[in-house]
Amino acid sequence: MNDDLQEWGELPEGWRWKVLPEVAEIIMGQSPPGSTYNADGNGLPFYQGKTDFGELHPTLRVWCTKPTKIAVPNDILMSVRAPVGPTNIADSECAIGRGLCIIRPRNGMPSRYLREYFRHIEDQIADMGKGSTFTSISRADLETIEVPLPPLPEQHRIVAKIERLLSESRTAREALDKVPALLKRFRQSVLAKAFRGELTGRDPGDEPASVLLERIREERRRRWEEDLRAAGRQGKDPKKAKYAEPEPTDTSDLPELPGGWCWVNFEELLVELKNGYFSKTPAFEPPGIPILRISAVRPLSISLASPRFLQEKIDVVSQYQLQDGDLLFTRYNGSLDLVGVCGMVRGLNSLTIYPDKLIRARVLAEHVLPEYLELYFATRVPRHIIEGKAKSSAGQQGISGKDLKSIPVAVASLAEQRRIVAKIESLFAQAEAIERAVEAARRRAEKVDQAVLARAFRGEL
């Protein structure tokens, strides 16, 4: 690591560079037989790698009855296999696997001094890792690490100063870490108030949603009649036309709506509800027709980035082509929380289709805003109904198009829909601005930590 340390310049008087074996014992990890692991508390705590690390001390999940390499309290544990470099300090006697090594300081050196130094040069240690798939670092590599060594009393003073300064930084980060949960609750509160009619004022001039609903039904009947005529022209049985009168909405278990609103089954708002295209596994790279990944749909969002690609003719898949304003629902997912979640397609600039584990909904957009429905389907009432209707099969939770059609929707007048969407978007934009500010503050806190460590190991604290 000599080249990496040239930028440090002269060490303070009384300090010396030492290679790691001069200041610490290095013990590489070794994994015991898997049959000796248990979650019942039998044997020593066992740590296998970075996934077991906490802020300073590892998190206990597994025990081992026949340990092969044992750390004692205050030993430094370093991850030596993908990722290389992160460290923790053992707070009890424990066993380690081959993903870790033990670094045991000599001659009274405080463990925290060496651990914070490793944090400071973690990127350099990571760069020493070898391997194309999973990087790792060997004992020989570790033995080349050089450590700036002040007199022992100064080591203790440096540790005390670092602990005080980083404690302040840690307190700030802990406060920042609470913000995402607060913003999540804020968004949930905004949505709940919006669909109780409490977020925006109602205009006395707004027509009742019942009038809007009648227009919707007239539009559906008109489309039905067109379907019948088209079926007749094609020589098809008119009874097989697509339209059927929707079932009336059962409001017995639904909350009371604001004045002028009404409940309506989702089916009445639809032009089309269609499962996606079933295909063989698509390619990761072009050429081909872009097809969304199943994971592209999340509550209130659709990611058009990183699609897969199908080798199909356009006329084969054209009926699955997406357009802005389409609503997509997840049809299957391993997590119940992600079944039936809804996002609206925005910013589409090329032909893109969707896979069979998603459902596309096109609505009567001149009467009900797709943005309004996207927001509504993220609220408690539809989520509770969807999760109640979801069925489990082969480890997957699923919802059918028929069940989606039966979901009751709280419909406001078109004017109030617009006000609700605008207000929610404004409040959510403020939340997103806070999230960006929090992330920027988190990055600044990390830079402060590194600045503290840099000064500490140049003898400037």
Q: What angle do CA 275, 278, 281 make, to 5 degrees?
A: 140
The model carries a pTM of 0.75
CB 291 within 8 A of CB 307: yes
280: three-class secondary structure by DSSP: coil
> Residue 322's pLDDT is what?
97
The boundaries of every CATH 3.90.220.20 domain in the chain are: 3-149, 258-412
In three-state secondary structure terms, 221 is helix
- CATH number at 258-412: 3.90.220.20
pLDDT of residue 152: 96
Question: What spatial distance separates the first Cα and last Cα of the chain, rounded to whole Å?
Answer: 24
Question: Whole-angstrom Cα distance, residue 42 to residue 67?
Answer: 11
Cβ–Cβ < 8 Å for 360, 354: yes
What pLDDT shows up at residue 169? 87
Top-level class of domain 3-149: alpha beta
Q: What is the pLDDT of residue 7?
A: 52
Residue 205 is predicted with a pLDDT of 87
Class of residue 180 by CB neighbours under 10 A (exposed 0-12, middle 13-18, buried 19+): middle
pLDDT at 6: 43
Tokens of 153: 């009393």
pLDDT for position 226? 81
List of the chain residues with pLDDT < 50: 5-6, 241-242
